[in-house]
Amino acid sequence: MRRSNFIPEVNAGSMADIAFLLLIFFLVTAVIPKDKGINRRLSKLCPPGQICETNINERNILRIVINNNDEIMVNGNVTTVDKLKNITKDFLDNNGDGSCNYCQGQNLKIASDNPKEAVISLQNDKQTSYNQFIKVQDELTKAYYELRTRYSKSIFKKSITDLSKEEMQILKDAYPFILSEAETK
């Protein structure tokens, strides 16, 4: 019986090449999410020496408060997230006559004079959950989107995605998204 002192080895010379190729493959094919956040435009700074405060008629303010228990109050009345979109739409687009289709039986008296003068005041507590805050923001955005979509179809006779830049600006001027995020108490 002949024994050899030779111990079999695995050639690992190409292992580094394979690992490098796998690394490149995963780097190239991996999807890196881009969180855009909430798209809002901040108001312009007030020039020094000028008074930039504007008086807003109380009727034109929709006050939304989220407390530390994530409960939502609209103008002092408790409501739920699923009702918020329709309440907002009724507030914005009521022809200034106080009609509120969705508010029947809810003891809500909301009516802006005009969508251009309507301001949504959103206030949250320090203990408000992030998820509830985002849900409220989403409902407000949906309300404006639906109103703008309806306006686009009735005035321009086309989808909101088919509007030109000029038409989109007219649309945003008809329903400007004016949101005031008040400081927490």
Phi first, then psi: give them for residue 11, nearest 5 degrees: -75, 110
Q: What is the pLDDT of residue 60?
A: 86
Instruction: Give domain status of residue 53, yes or no.
Output: no
Q: Does a structural domain hold residue 5?
A: no
pTM value is 0.70
**Both tokens assigned to 55:** 């008086």
What's the gap between Cα 61 and its chain centre? 19
Report yes or no on 46 lying in a domain: no
Strand order in the sheet with 179-182: 77-79, 72-74, 61-66, 119-124, 179-182
If one counts the domains in the chain, the total is 1
pLDDT along the chain (185 residues), means of 10: 70 81 88 70 76 81 91 91 92 65 52 84 90 93 93 92 92 90 69
Query: What's the pLDDT at 153?
Result: 93
Distances (CA, A) of 49 to 42, 52, 53, 73, 93: 20, 9, 12, 37, 36
Nearest CA to 64 among 42, 47, 80?
Answer: 80
Domain of residue 84, residue span: 58-182
Does a structural domain hold residue 38?
Answer: no
The answer to whether residues 56 and 116 touch, using CB atoms and an 8 Å cutoff, is: no
136 neighbors 121 (Cβ within 8 angstroms):
no
Residue 161 belongs to a domain: yes
155 part of a folded domain: yes
